[in-house]
Structure 1
Amino acid sequence: MVTESKRWLALALLCLTGFMIILDASIVLVAIPSIERELTFSIGGVQWVPSGYALMFGGLLLLGGRISDLLGRRRVFIAGLLLFAGSSLLCGFAWSGDALVFARGLQGIAAAVLAPSALSIVMTTFPSGPDRNKALGIWGATSGVGGTAGSLIGGPVTDGLGWQWIFFINVPACVVVAVLAPLLLLDSRGPGRRGFDVAGAATVTAALIALVYAVIQAPSSSVVRTVLWLLMSAVLFAVFVVVEQRSAAPLVPLRLFRSRALVGGNLITIGWGLAAFGLNFVYTQYAQLALGASAVRYGLMSAVLAAAAVGGSMIGQHLVTRVGPRAVAFVSLLVAGAGTTLMTRLTVTSGYFELAFWGLTIFGAGLGAGTVAGSIASLSEVAGEDAGVASGLQNASFQIGGAVGIAVVAAVAAASTSGRTPVALTHGYRIAFVTVWSFIVIGLAGCLFVKRPLEIQRGKSGHMKAVVAARRPS
């Protein structure tokens, strides 16, 4: 029998893991300029450091959830911790750009196993009701803090100890959690004896890698080569659909896409992933390479975005129960667009409070409210037996959108830059900020699918509060 105090200690352990996973997605952005200076990368190759993690994380997230359900959630959780610790060591000791990208891919695989197993253990540790909703709220808030902490922790660590330590700090945390996990965490398995859809996971991940590679190499490759990579990606996506149609245990049952709300909610989420990661990546480059800001100063400058996102998510949760997710998502996307527009006006002489502070604050507020609306919309028409896969799909959409968003804005910036002077770099970054508007348009298109306002009665709001808590913006 699990005591009450043991439950909450288990939650603390799981939240530390969730914090670490989100932190690793955001903290690396602060260190990108330092990493690029010290390691050898091909043209545009440094983009794979954040994108490789996000691609493997998003592409294998659903498979990771299936593995934890079938093999035992605690066992898979501990194995994921050990892989995360080992890959973090490889990242810190990376001797070249290729070695770092490889290690970041391993980190993404570990995160794809850790995240769903940790959340599943939270769900099985706390019975349905107020305690579970409270636990999910703490889990979601911890993830939000992880996104903010990436900017605040990454700067001092990178400037004071070196970029390697943004990876080394994961190791002691993983060891502590792995030692305590058998003592505090319950083990459980999902129902049934369904198999693993390895073919589906492999084809969709390969399709995404081909797509990102085509975008990253576009500025320095011939049109023919770029088109061939895009065609390869399209073929692999088509193969994925065929695999899912024939699989006895598909990663994503295609019948889910009959729900307009699910399609619209995931389009909104993809739009936010594209925009949030893309804008963050460009702003990192602008602040540190064009303005010459230190990693510490950049961290302080960008933290306002994450803080505004947390505030926006609280407001969005309040509004969506009254006016529905479509209206909240639509307005929040336009708000983020206004913030993006301010960012397109940045110059090498722009003062931080003149444009960037307000641009990041406005964008962050829209991001927080909009991701809440997108997550609720995508799950509003999903049956209980499909809730797990639909939630995993929605989280994967955000991560995959982020990987593609970074690739697109980086390619646009590279193609629009004629030199390495601050003025030339800023010109390219301004064009890249304009590109973020195209991502926002994708989210606006998703709003068209969400036709009916979602009415959440006060007495039946527990599930939606859990959905909101489990998907705080990072």
Structure 2
Amino acid sequence: MPPAVPHDARPARWRLAGGPALALLAGCQLLLVVDASIVNVALPSVQRGLGFTDAGLSWVVNAYTLAFGGLLLLGGRAGDLLGHRRVFAAGVAVFTAASLAGGLAASPGWLLAARAAQGAGAALAGPGSLALIATTFEDGPRRSRALAVFSVAGSAGMVVGLVLGGLLTAWASWRAVLFVNVPVGAAIVLLAPRVLRESPGREGRFDVAGALACTLGSTLLVYGFIRAAERGWNGGLTVGAFCGAAVLLALFPAIEARAAQPVLPLRLFGDRDRVGAFLMRLLLTSAMSGMLFFLTLYVQRVLGYGPLATGFGFLPTTAALIAASRAVPRLLPRYGPQPVMAAGAVLCAAGMVWLTQVSPTSSYVTMILGPVLLFGAGTGLVAVAATFVAMASVPAGESGATSALLQSMQQIGGSLGVAVLITVNGAAARGGSQVDGMRGAFTAGVAFTAAMLVTALLGFRRRSGGHGRSGGQERSGGHGRSGSQIWRRSSEK
């Protein structure tokens, strides 16, 4: 296996390819996240076109989410062992071919199979896209900016999907929301060998037992949340899925401790800041996914907006997210992750508390615009900071596993948030009106944002010395360098 190429020994063309490489990787991340939400607006047209039942229609979204979330850890480890560019390109190719097949679907089963294949391709491509940033950009401001752009692309994807889905469905047909992936995906596959440097693979075997345990356990966990959102928490399949997930995920650490090449190295959990970043990502996505789900319903059912106007109504979220994210590379080296994430959590909580005041007579300007701006700014701070912290000082050859775990938190959090808020909405609506149910859902969302704030205050090491210096000599990831040292060095370059 060829040795890793030192940063200062790379050919000049790799150092000059940062712009195209970043556009390719961030574009791929945006594409994968967009596809989780782009079909939402098109679902009524899909139902009319292919004859889906009401129960089956939800699986147009769930088939993608289930495959994506369940296979992420396996996809990340495959990149660590085989080379991230190779696995990344293969994943995008599978995703693109499945998008074409889905656009041509002539029956419900055909479309669902294509959506599951899209999710499998996304699970291969997603971890590699973040891991490749580490092999393309040198430590310092350039990598910091690249991580910020990548994080924004992922966080904004859910909102962009709503807008793009509305445009394509209104101007063309539901098939366009799948066909649009084909030229973009084909371009990424063709350009990847030209602008991305391959990461060195590692000798070793796949951890088959660990891969099965984490894949089946993650899949059952995501399915349990999906089922709970659809049928409640007491159904036999829901309880069975959660029990199966609990058993497999409880066995997983014991399997990994014995594996020579574990699919998820347990030492990644040895850094307190990294664990806090994973938890922040889980809670943020739980709150954001539930908020977007019910705000979409409120804007259409109560305010009477059409799908296209609804999508555009969320654009301020993306604008605020981008504006806040630009400050994170400057704030982290100076203050460390704790105050940055705490500030983001406070903004998200303020936006969610504001939404608990919705009423049938509220307007977009008085009740929607302010909360989505606050939530967008908070998301920009938390999402970018969490990505920086999670990827700081990752041991060589484990960036794929770390990236996959971070993105798994996003997928599991999204399913958890929707399931919990739907449950609370149903209970509140039974004792009142549709808007009462939504107020109850947003109140549950406040709990997620409050948990974010508690995690930000208690889950990270305090910094001292003015530039993010750690108060002690704590080791991180086996390298003896804390994330704060990485940020300090980046700011000094």
In structure 1, what is the Cα distance between the partners aligned to 2:401 and 2:188?
26
Secondary structure at 2:78 match in 1: helix
TM-superposed deviation, 1:80: 1.6
450 and 217 in structure 1: CA distance in 2 versus 1, 3 angstrom threshold: same
Residue deviations 1:340-364 (CA, integer Å, cap 9, x gap): 1222222333210010111111122
What is the match of residue 453 of structure 1? 463
Corresponding residue number in structure 2 for 1:268: 280
Matches within 5 A, 1:121-132: 121-128=132-139, 132=143
Distance in 2 separating the partners of 1:147 and 1:191: 34
Cα distance, 1:128 vs structure 2: 4.7
Q: Distance in 2 between matches of 1:424 and 1:96?
A: 37
Corresponding residue of 1:339: 351
Letter aligned with residue 312 of structure 1: A
Question: In 2, Cα distance between the equivalents of 1:62 and 1:222?
Answer: 29
| Alpha-carbon distance between aligned partners in 2 of 1:362 and 1:281, rounded to the nearest angstrom | 17
Query: 1:467 and 1:343, CA in 2 relative to 1: closer, same or farther beyond 3 A?
Result: farther
Alignment of 1:374 with 2:386, yes or no, is yes
What is the distance in 2 between the residues matched to 1:413 and 1:392? Answer: 31
1:53 is matched with 64
Alignment-derived partner of residue 249 in structure 1 = 261
Give the aligned partner of residue 103 of structure 1. Answer: 114
The worse-fitting range, judged by mean Cα deviation, of 5-14 and 108-117 is: 5-14
Paired with 1:73 and 1:41, the residues of 2 have a C-alpha distance of: 40
Distance in 2 (CA, whole Å) between partners of 1:319 and 1:360 is: 23
**One-letter code of the match for 2:214?**
A
Partner residue, 1:163? 174
Q: Is the contact between residue 81 and residue 174 of structure 1 (CA under 8 Å) also seen in structure 2? A: yes
Q: CA RMSD in A?
A: 3.5
- Which AA in structure 1 matches 2:364? Y
After the TM superposition, which residues 292-331 of structure 1 pair with which residues of structure 2 at under 5 Å, given as runs? 292-331=304-343
- 1:207 counterpart = 2:216: no
Paired residues for 1:218-233 under 5 Å = 218-219=231-232, 222=234, 226-233=238-245
The TM-score, its normalising length taken from structure 2, stands at 0.80
1:279 aligns to 2:282 (yes or no)? no
Question: What is the distance in 1 between the residues matched to 2:22 and 2:387?
Answer: 23
Deviation at 1:270, TM superposition (A): 0.8
Count of matched residue positions in the alignment of Structure 1 and Structure 2: 461
Instruction: Give yes or no for the alignment of 1:431 onto 2:440.
Output: yes
1:453 is aligned with what amino acid?
A: R
| Contact 2:147 2:384 (C-alpha < 8 Å) held by counterparts | no
State how far apart, in whole Å, the 2-side matches of 1:244 and 1:318 are: 37
> Does the 8 A contact of 2:324 with 2:377 survive in 1?
yes
TM-score normalised to the size of structure 1? 0.83
Moved more, 379-388 or 54-63: 379-388
- Pairing partner for 2:417 from 405, 428, 433: 405
Counterparts of 2:90 and 2:222, CA distance in 1: 25
Identity %: 33
Q: Please list every run of 5 or more consecutive structure 1 residues that lacks an aligned counterpart in the other structure.
A: 469-474
Deviation at 1:282, TM superposition (A): 1.5
Structure 2 gaps, min length 5: 1-10, 470-482
Larger RCO (CA under 8 A, 6+ residues apart):
1
Change (3 A) 1:429 1:95: farther
Aligned letter for 2:171?
A: G
Please say if residues 72 and 124 of structure 2, whose CA atoms lie closer than 8 Å, have aligned partners that are also in contact: yes
For residue 306 of structure 2, what is the amino acid of its counterpart?
S
Q: Does the 8 Å contact 1:210/1:232 carry over to 2?
A: no
Q: Which residue of 1 aligns with 2:5?
A: none
**For 1:171-197, what per-residue CA distance to the aligned partner results, in whole angstroms no more than 9, with x for missing partners?**
122223333444554444323324244
Q: Distance in 1 between matches of 2:67 and 2:490?
A: 24
Residue correspondence of structure 1 range 74-85 to structure 2 within 5 A: 74-85=85-96
Task: Name the residue aligned to 2:229.
Answer: 216
Whole-angstrom distance in 1 between the partners of 2:162 and 2:365: 18
Query: How far, CA to CA, are the matches of 1:326 and 1:94 in structure 2?
Result: 48
1:433-470 per-position Cα deviation (integer Å, ceiling 9, x unaligned): 2221222233234232224237437xx989549999xx
Between 221-230 and 55-64, the greater mean CA deviation after superposition: 221-230
Residue pairs, 1:164-183, within 5 angstroms: 164-183=175-194
